[in-house]
Amino acid sequence: MNLTIENIVLVGSVLLLISIIAGKTSYKFGVPILLFFLGIGMLAGSDGIGGIHFDDPKLAQFIGLVSLNFILFSGGLDTNWNSIKPVLREGIALSTFGVLLTAVSLGTFVWAITDFTIYESMLLGSIVSSTDAAAVFSILRSKSLALKTNLRPTLELESGSNDPMAYVLTLAFLTLVVNQDQSVFSIIPLFLQQMLLGGLAGFVFGKLSKYIINKIKLDFEGLYPVLVISLMFITFSATDAVGGNGFLAIYICAVYLGNQDIIHKKTILKVFDGLAWLMQIVLFLTLGLLVFPSQIVPIAGIGLIIALFLIFIARPVGVFLSLIFFKMKMRRRFYISWVGLRGAVPIVFATYPLLAGIEKANMIFNIVFFISVTSVLTQGTTLTLVAKWLHVALPEKAKKLTATDLLMTENPKALMKEIMVTENCYAVDKEIVQLGFPKNAIIAMIIRDNSYITPNGTTKILADDTLVVLADKAEVFEEVNTTLRI
């Protein structure tokens, strides 16, 4: 079947519906939803039962770049600065030095066992050097797995911020493959330019976007997400135009906006969450259609060897060496090493060699696809098992309601504070409706005798209760203390 203007909407909507329905089973079986989307795309493709012919790397790359904009921006908006601040250095080390070390170690291995040149080997290593956050946390949520200390924020920060480094390395080594006469040192200025301009542009566009959002005063609430989408694409394209890293820019811009007071923030966050899911499905379906399974089989042997080296040696090398100067228990380092799933991003990056027309482009693309699927199958299905085996998962009885869990309700960017009610407190034996609580603060949960109570206006507060209070500003907690007379 050839895609035409007349049938593309029908085919696309049917594939989207099938993907959503099939994806529900991933939570039951613990299989990352990524595999379902990729699998449906492959089944619908030229080698599958759908027979849809799609062999356009340029269009796939365009869809990939647009999708990654939404996915990274949404991830940045959902990043709570207070949660990642304690692990900021570890996260940056993993997303920069960790990615570089993974790429170099894997590239060296590929060079040793194949007929790839050193630059082609490093290109392959760079393409698969970043991890996929969506695949990781879809499984963590499906198993209700809580991780000890700051493991989850560390993994979130690394997954959200390591794509820019992999992107720069991919472009740099692709340049060296195309221009064999250039020295490896010639890519250093490119690297510095991309990262420095990308980081600076992200912060500048973040402040500018906040000013525009709060000052423009649109008449309709639904236009604010549209405004943010336009600012997101401006940030990416303008940064890329001046030679900076657009992915890094939009991630930093989104993190800044997500931790500021902006108009209609709740609406913007919900819209971007839905758009990120849509783009994730579209991206995986597109990449599935682009792959020809018949071309994967011949490289399965070498692909498996490279994938196993990446999982068991290259990724741990990158993690352990990049965290060597930080205090962290060994079992936590091992778990971070295991949570190194490769997802859609490496497959998108693998389209760059295809468009550049280098000799081994098809082989690189097929190996990258095989590595991504192997990684998800091997690591993705065992995340909870390994977490319990390494004792980094909280046991069921020890799980507590976290700030992240609470912030998934009405205000995903609220501040949280636990307040202990003493016997002499004014609020004792009074219903919540009688307290005159500040309008911009709510009692989201009451912890009483090791149990959790979801309160309403008639709930009576007792001595020794712990009130889990959400507020939009830190200053509001002073009003709360005054109301409770603590």
Among 340, 370, 397, the domain boundary falls at 397
Is residue 112 very low, low, confident or very high in pLDDT (cuts 50, 70, 90)?
A: very high
Averaged confidence pLDDT in the chain: 84
Q: Which of 164, 133, 81 is nearest to 344 (CA)?
A: 133
Mean of pLDDT values over 107-130: 96
Among 369, 397, 425, the domain boundary falls at 397
The pLDDT assigned to 167 comes to 93
| 1 falls within a domain | no
Same domain, 428 and 381: no
From 124-133, 371-380, 477-486, the region with the lowest mean pLDDT: 477-486
Same domain, 176 and 283: yes
Is residue 22 very low, low, confident or very high in pLDDT (cuts 50, 70, 90)?
A: low
**Segments forming the whole domain that contains residue 324:** 8-397
Which CATH number do you get for residue 39? 1.20.1530.20
- What is the C-alpha to C-alpha distance for residues 16 and 281, in angstroms, rounded to an integer? 7
Same domain, 14 and 132: yes
Q: Round to the nearest angstrom and report the end-to-end CA distance of the chain.
A: 70
Same domain, 432 and 390: no
Mean of pLDDT values over 82-95: 90
Among 397, 426, 457, the domain boundary falls at 397
What's the burial of 127, exposed, middle or buried (CB within 10 Å: 0-12/13-18/19+)? buried
Same domain, 416 and 393: no
pLDDT for 421-471, tens place per residue? Answer: 888 888 888 888 778 777 678 888 898 887 788 886 668 889 889 998 888
Beta strand pairing status for 441-448 and 466-471?
antiparallel
- Per-residue pLDDT at 144 exceeds 60: no
Same domain, 343 and 275: yes
Same domain, 393 and 431: no
- Per-residue pLDDT at 123 exceeds 90: yes
Same domain, 110 and 160: yes
The pLDDT assigned to 210 comes to 93
Which CATH number do you get for residue 474? 3.30.70.1450
Better-scored residue on pLDDT, 78 or 402? 78
- What's the pTM value of the predicted model, to 2 decimals? 0.77
| 239 falls within a domain | yes
- Per-residue pLDDT at 479 exceeds 50: yes
Structural domains of the chain, count:
2
From 81-90, 106-115, 264-273, 395-404, the region with the lowest mean pLDDT: 395-404
| 407 falls within a domain | no
| 2 falls within a domain | no
Q: Which of 180, 167, 165, 163 is nearest to 119 (CA)?
A: 180
Same domain, 384 and 459: no
The pLDDT assigned to 401 comes to 46
Same domain, 300 and 427: no
Instruction: Count CB atoms within 10 A of the CB of residue 180.
Output: 8
| 3 falls within a domain | no
Same domain, 392 and 444: no
pLDDT for 290-339, tens place per residue? Answer: 888 888 889 999 999 999 999 999 999 999 999 999 988 899 999 999 98
From 127-141, 257-271, 395-409, 428-442, the region with the lowest mean pLDDT: 395-409
Better-scored residue on pLDDT, 436 or 138? 436
Same domain, 251 and 110: yes
